[in-house]
Homo-oligomer: A and B are copies of this chain.
Amino acid sequence: MGRWEPGAGSRLREAALNLYLERGFDQTMVNDIAERAGVTARTFFRHFADKREVLFDAAAELEEKSLAALEEAPATASALELVAAALDAVADTIGHDRELALMRHTVIMANADLRERELIKLAQMTAALADGLRRRGIGDAEADLAAEIGSAVYRVAFRRWVDAAGDLELREAIDQSFAQLRTLTAAD
């Protein structure tokens, strides 16, 4: 596994995030990112499929962990309890670094192309979650609906978490959103 300086992928990720923050996504050339990371543009595209993916390739790990949490949940868990377990796994993975999440979120919200990529990643996560629920024996339609609900809960919770001054944990925000969901559905 020979190379010049190890960790090119991490350096590219960090350089990209910082440059996107400093001057904006459109104003950042792939050449700039590569230069700051000490590699060439060609190498950037060997690590990331495109200029956007550098912000999103961590999603694979997230999906992996949330699906693992699904498998480990007790056999008696209901569909929504399974979803909650998956979301807790997500919170454990990214919840410890609000600063990073905030930077990433700021960059993504500032650019339409990045928002597109964010949406499709979330949609992929939702589909994977629904599949995981089916593997746990949840019925087809119920799995789809529960996964969509989980996606909505996560969206709301994440937004509250990054908007909060820092006195709210991501996991707490998820719990709160779930509670609000129960209130709303009970009220109708």
Binding site for B on A (CB under 8 A): 112, 115-117, 119-120, 123, 141-142, 144-145, 148, 152, 156, 180, 184-185, 188
Quick check: B119 and A112 within 8 Å, CB to CB? no
Q: Which residues of B contact A141 (CB under 8 A)?
A: 180, 184
Name the CB-closest residue of B to A155.
B148
Binding site of A, secondary structure by majority: helix, strand, loop or mixed? helix
Q: How many copies does the complex hold?
A: 2
- Having A116-B116, A116-B119, one finds 5 other A-B pairs with CB under 8 Å, namely A116-B117, A116-B120, A119-B119, A145-B184, A148-B152
A24 to B32, CA, bound (A): 33
Find the residue from A119, A123, A142 having the highest chain B CB count within 10 A: A119
A117 to B112, CA, bound (A): 10
**In the assembled complex, how far is the CB of residue A176 from the closest CB belonging to chain B, in whole angstroms?**
12
A142 to B183, CA, bound (A): 12
For this complex, 19 residue pairs linking A to B, each with C-beta atoms less than 8 Å apart, are A112-B120, A115-B120, A115-B123, A116-B116, A116-B117, A116-B119, A116-B120, A119-B119, A119-B120, A119-B123, A141-B180, A141-B184, A142-B184, A144-B156, A145-B152, A145-B184, A148-B152, A185-B185, A185-B188
Q: Which residues of B contact A112 (CB under 8 A)?
A: 120
Q: Which residues of B contact A145 (CB under 8 A)?
A: 152, 184
A121 to B117, CA, bound (A): 13
Q: Which residues of B contact A184 (CB under 8 A)?
A: 141-142, 145
A123 to B120, CA, bound (A): 11
A138 to B123, CA, bound (A): 27
**In the assembled complex, how far is the CB of residue A82 from the closest CB belonging to chain B, in whole angstroms?**
15
Find the residue from A115, A120, A141, A142 having the highest chain B CB count within 10 A: A120
